[in-house]
Each structure stands twice: as structure tokens, then as C-alpha cells.
Homo-oligomer: A and B are copies of this chain.
Amino acid sequence: MQFHVYLAGQIHDDWRETIKQLAGQEQLPVTFTGPMENHDRSDNIGEEILGTQSDPIAKDEAASEINNLRTRLLLDKSDIVIAKFGEKYKQWNSAMDAATAVAQNKPLILIRPKELHHPLKELSERAQVTVETDEQAVKCLKYLFETD
């Protein structure tokens, strides 16, 4: 049995690579998907495909349609969602993706630094597990396949 894991959340460091490497070292039968990690491309994808838009809001609207196409589909196909929150940026679509996973009855593993426990307390309560490091998240995945 193989599981699809969607890696939601911040695109400002290389945490997805860490997760993939750790899972690879353990040879876990999981595949990973996630959002476009090239921030500029993510912001410009609307104009890249549809051409120049009339103003910044129209540009954002076009980009968000295509980013959401990707997120909806990949998140919908996933069996587990891991969402990572950091100190920077508003990260509202990280919260949106995490909440969507919960509402779709997919188990959510939340990674957040301890310092963020207060503003994330309601989301953490809805997550299946809350951890502080990438290593802990991968150990949760590993436990799915262990027999003793």
C-alpha cells in the first residue's frame, strides 16, 4: 500500500526536500506533491498563460485560479496532508489548505515552531498530530508501516 502526501505550507525554505530525503532514506512507500515552489512563477502564472492582465488584482485573480486548480487536484488526490508554518508571511493559503484537508477528512500533520502555538491553537486542535520538526513528521509517516 502506497500513500500520497501533499506538502502544504510555506515555500520559503527547502523543508520539502528535507522531508523527501528523510522519507527516501527510510524507503517509505510514499509519494509527495505540493504547490509550485518557485514564488515568482506562482505569482506570475496567470499572466504567463492568459497574457497581461489589466491591473494587479486581475493579475492575482488569474494566478490564483491556476494555483488553486493545482492545489485542489493534488490535495484531493492525497491521503495525508503535512502543513508547515513558519514565522514569516501571512500564510493564509497554508491555513486554507490545512483546513481543507481537515474538512475533507484527511489526516493533517501540522509542523510549527513552539512559538506559534497560540495563534495556531485551533488549527492544531483539528490536526491529527502536531509536531515541531520535519524529522518528527517523517517518523509519523514511518510508523504507518511498522509492525513492531
* Residues of chain A whose beta carbon lies under 8 Å from any beta carbon of chain B: 1, 3-4, 31, 33, 36-38, 41, 45, 48-50, 54-58, 60-61, 63-74, 76-77, 79-80, 85, 89-93, 95-100, 102-105, 107, 109, 114, 117-126, 128-131, 136, 139-140, 143-144, 146-148
Contact = CB atoms under 8 A, between A and B. Distances in A.
Contact of A96 (B76, B98, B118): B98
A52 to B, nearest CB: 13
B60 A118 contact: yes
Nearest to A136: B49
12 contacts: A49-B139, A50-B131, A56-B117, A58-B58, A61-B121, A67-B122, A69-B129, A93-B122, A96-B96, A96-B126, A99-B100, A103-B103
